[in-house]
Structure 1
């Protein structure tokens, strides 16, 4: 069942039930008013009979019957019965519609007034008192006109309920279709969006309702998907190019060695060159794996307390062991500061290692200065080198995978380290900034929330 049909049926059912309750309430009020009105007329008939038959200005029973018979306002199947103080029947209109028991007489003398129904006949009994003489008078009749009017009202309400339910069904289907029309448009537009056509967007409209908000959020999701697909295509293209170059060099060197029949020393030199290329490939593969790891959602990365000052000291010692020609100066602002933050120690180690390695590589004397400072909410790690200038128009592109600045010409690398570092910093809800000038050199600043 479609959503339009469900909404139509639900809307119609709710309105139909409410309309039925209203019709039932209206009929009930009409019935109560008819009953109360008929009771008043019966009581008036009983009072009139009491005044004319047992009151001071009484008339004879025969004359009263004649008057009652020719009265235009006489009630249908009306019957008047009067009992005296001794419960003796002193008057009966003669129709014999009603039988009164002594218990009923006693209750009326006690309650002074009583109303009840027998099938379609309605009866009112009153205690009539005049000149210290008490009588019990019964007036009964059938409200033929009132019941017929109620029946007509019931038929009218039933027909009106049926007609209104049908109209509600048509109106509900029409308005449900109008309401869901934007969803149909969204569905049609979604069907045209494919992996090769992610630039298309849903119509958002200007209503600002829930459907417009849904379209806006879907378009934002498409923006993220398009960026991810574009990054993936760029990543694959650049990775293929970067992998092809060393593989081609390795293949060429091995083929030349096999064909040339080189001496042992020349073969060893060739093997050393191949080994360097293989190590470069290994570093590139590790970088690609790091990029893939840093690209995952932060909720999938286990976060533990990390002592940043201790981590930087470990990296300094590691550089002294791996790169004897590098000089790393480490300055920690205040030894008494709490340098803990929540993060992934392996990823942070990779990020800081890449920045320090990058600084030593571009510095003429392979000297890098690292400073750790703190603010109430953030930790700041700055990595400075006095190497060549990074052009201002390239300060943002150097964080893209496989993108290197013009100052990196002739230096080893694949353009993965800074991209990996930026993703690791963003994974920790931090920021990375870079400033470069001929006078002060290049400084990378990492800001991480405490």
Structure 2
């Protein structure tokens, strides 16, 4: 079922239910008031009838004749009680058709409380106790409330009619407003249907109304931005990967074909095998880097994290660099280390973090031609900050937006060996640990990379 109709049904049921409750309450209140008012009128008539009958005062008879409208089927009854305040059982009025429906409790209540009411079908009874010359009497007036019944019947019809009109009005208003409110959703749906893989540059129209529809359009546009970037990155990745993998494969195939072309001396075969081995090593390095890059793109649930001290991690990275490049001039800055060693703990995968930091430090050494490079560590209650700085060739400003694309290499790095995977791999690892990495670089001045990792809460 469409949301429009769900809203309409909910709105209609809720509104009609409220109106129905209000109408029912009004009807019951009116019904109660009508009965109470009619009993009050019967009570007044009972006292007037008693005074007119026992005092023989013509004024009461005149009031009855001139000012009291006779009620439908109005009847008056006078029952004499004995000294024990009981109605003699042989009283013939008790067996009259009009009074035989009255229960004995009605008479007892009149004598005990002074008055009582009773209803039998459409006939209402009001009884009062009246004492004349020390003799108690029960005066009963009965009548039918035809006017009240008709009034209540008319009220029911009016309320039902109003309820029906209100229901129609609510449905009509609900249809209009649900269509009006959901119009932006229909427009967004229509625009989304036109977006395909070949036109991800299209965006939804943002009404800038500040409401949920505007927020939805903005969120969807942001998602389209990420999708477009992901598609472009994927295309570039496939293109660059094909090129990077194809180059050593072409060299291997070409060298093998050249060696097999004719009989050659042993030295030439050895030289061809050295070329093939070199290109195979290069191919293996690229495939391992691609595998690491793909694995670090997974979420953290696939990784086993443990508590790690960042200062020990940096020392381990320095030892690794010393083995790979003994001529390096990497220095560690200890001046910003905190007094509280507990702040140096983070949660993560030590091997992955060492891989990320080693790649960055190796780049610092390589692109600065082994000039001095610096590693600094600072820590707070919330985060550990690792700063790696070199005085190398830097990155041109126009290349900075693309440094995280796999296989991308800056325009000034052609004389240096590399594959353009180190920085994307490092950023993936840092993100996997809930951190972030910021690169600041000036061409011919050097590069500074700031890595922030959350401090372990335990």
**Residue segments in structure 2 that go unaligned for 5+ positions in a row:** none
Q: TM-score scaled by structure 1?
A: 0.87
* Closer, same or farther: CA 344–37 of 1 in aligned 2, 3 Å: same
Aligned twin of 1:263: 265
- Alpha-carbon distance in structure 2 between the residues aligned to 1:315 and 1:420: 16
Mapped partners of 2:319, 2:98: distance in 1: 120
1:208 aligns to what SS in structure 2? Answer: coil
Residue 70 (structure 1) shift = 9.6
User: Which residue of the partner structure matches residue 34 of structure 1?
Assistant: 34
Deviation at 1:421, TM superposition (A): 2.1
Aligned CA distance change for structure 1 residues 342 and 132 (closer, same or farther; 3 Å):
same
Match status 1:430 vs 2:436 = yes
Q: CA deviation at 1:269?
A: 0.9
Deviations 1:359-412 (A, max 9, x none): 332343x35534332242543434444544544444454443222233322221
After the TM superposition, which of the residue ranges 70-79 and 287-296 deviates more from structure 2?
Answer: 70-79
In terms of mean alpha carbon deviation, does 165-174 or 271-280 score higher? 165-174
Compute the displacement of 1:143 (Å): 1.3
Q: Secondary structure at the match of 2:198?
A: coil
In 2, Cα distance between the equivalents of 1:431 and 1:231? 19
Deviations 1:150-185 (A, max 9, x none): 212212222222222222222222222222222222
Q: CA deviation at 1:142?
A: 0.9
1:193 aligned residue (192, 195, 210): 195
Please tell me whether residue 275 in structure 1 is matched to residue 277 in structure 2. yes
Q: Equivalences for 1:143-222 in 2 at 5 Å? A: 143-222=145-224
Equivalent residue for 1:419?
424
What SS does structure 1 have at the residue aligned with 2:289? helix
More divergent stretch after superposition (139-148 vs 414-423)? 414-423
Alignment partner, residue 17 of structure 1: 17
Partners of 1:389 and 1:441 within 8 A in 2: yes
**CA deviation after TM superposition for structure 1 residue 288, in Å:** 1.6
Secondary structure in structure 2 of the residue aligned to 1:182 = helix
Q: CA deviation at 1:296?
A: 3.0
> Alpha-carbon deviations, 1:328-359, whole Å to 9, x = none?
54454459763322222222111121122223
Q: Which residue of structure 1 lines up, in the alignment, with residue 118 of structure 2?
A: 116
Q: Would you say the 8 A contact 2:392–2:446 is kept in 1?
A: yes
Q: CA RMSD in A?
A: 3.2
- Please give the alpha-carbon distance, in whole angstroms, between the structure 2 residues aligned to 1:17 and 1:388: 76
1:83 is the counterpart of 2:79: yes
Deviates more, 1:106-115 or 1:372-381: 372-381
- Partner of 2:360 in structure 1? 355
CA distance in 2, matches of 1:441, 1:212: 43
1:381 corresponds to: 386
Judge conservation of contact 1:372–1:379 (CA < 8 Å) in 2: no
* SS of equivalent residue, structure 1 residue 407: coil
1:51 partner SS: helix
Query: Which segments of structure 1 move beyond 6 Å, counting only runs of 4 or more?
Result: 66-72, 88-92
Unmatched tracts of structure 1, length 5 or more: none
How many residues are aligned here?
443
- Cα distance, 1:325 vs structure 2: 5.0
In 2: Cα distance, 1:104 partner to 1:362 partner: 112
> Greater CA deviation, 223-232 or 71-80?
71-80
Q: Distance in 1 between matches of 2:5 and 2:350?
A: 56
Map 1:273-352 → 2, pairs under 5 A:
273-298=275-300, 300-326=302-328, 328-330=330-332, 332-333=334-335, 338=341, 339-352=344-357
Q: CA deviation at 1:290?
A: 2.2
Change (3 A) 1:305 1:70: closer
Q: Check if 1:239 corresponds to 2:241.
A: yes
**More moved, 112-121 vs 376-385:** 376-385
**Residues in 2 aligned to 1:443 and 1:150: alpha-carbon distance in whole angstroms:** 88
